[in-house]
Amino acid sequence: MSTPYHQLVANLARLIHEAKTYPLGGFAPLPPPAPAPNAPKALIFSPHPDDEVIIGGLALRLLRESGWRIINVAVTQGSNKARQAARWEELKQCCAHIGFELLQTAPHGLEKINPRTRAQDPRHWQQCVAVIVQILQREQPRVIFFPHDADWNSTHIGVHHLVVDALRSLPAFTCEIVETEYWAPMASPNLMVEISPTDLGDLIAALTFHVGEVQRNPYHLSLPAWMMDNVRRGGEVVGGQGGAAPPFTFATLYRVRTWRESQWQPRWEGGRFLSLAEKPHLLFGA
């Protein structure tokens, strides 16, 4: 028996198989954005090179639709020392392609950013916290992105605590916080952001500049499916159990809160959907 759904699945399987032959990296840079010098800044604190575009849908929309400056902070360059220099070069090409600015935390990135180091090596941990403090003080971002505290991967969890510890050492610092997810879903995201096919295609193309990583595991090809599943899940966990899902095809989920007076504060009550018809900067009251 054959139904239209069998054809749908067959076509999807064929396209994914075909996409394994597509080139990795080497694409011409996208038309460069031109934010004003005084444009609001958003910092992405990336645990590894590649996280900046995997979770970067909202950041890309802020860049393209609202004229913000998006600065990727490469917290680490991976734990494989033999690959750190190559991963930095891949990251530079990725960010140049997508239009994100780039900051390096140390010549080879920060090392041992995980909960175990935080608990057992406080001296090293505080040195790393000081690096993040300097970046926050210098850049004065309006918004910062970093993983939620249960994102499974030890470095993702480490980066969460690293940035929060830096914020806690700056009692007068205020910004909007956008927590991200990839390895493990958040229990309580409060924002689902629609991603256009064009933006998703650009994010995937940028992701392929991380050649050494996607050759090992072609996770760039599963990004559309992940974003489709975000719509399924977000329709309920963001919109409310039993609610109608919005007519999005692709989306990314986030948790948005305000950091003020050294503590988390709610940005809004309940959950929100951001469609392609809405300007992303309005999420932050600007």
Over residues 187-228, the pLDDT tens digits come to: 999 999 999 999 999 999 999 999 999 999 999 999 999 999
Amino acid in position 34: A
The pLDDT value recorded for residue 286 is 60
Q: Per-residue pLDDT for 1 more than 80?
A: no
Query: What are the tens digits of pLDDT across the range 229-280?
Result: 999 999 999 999 998 889 999 999 999 999 999 999 999 999 999 999 999 9
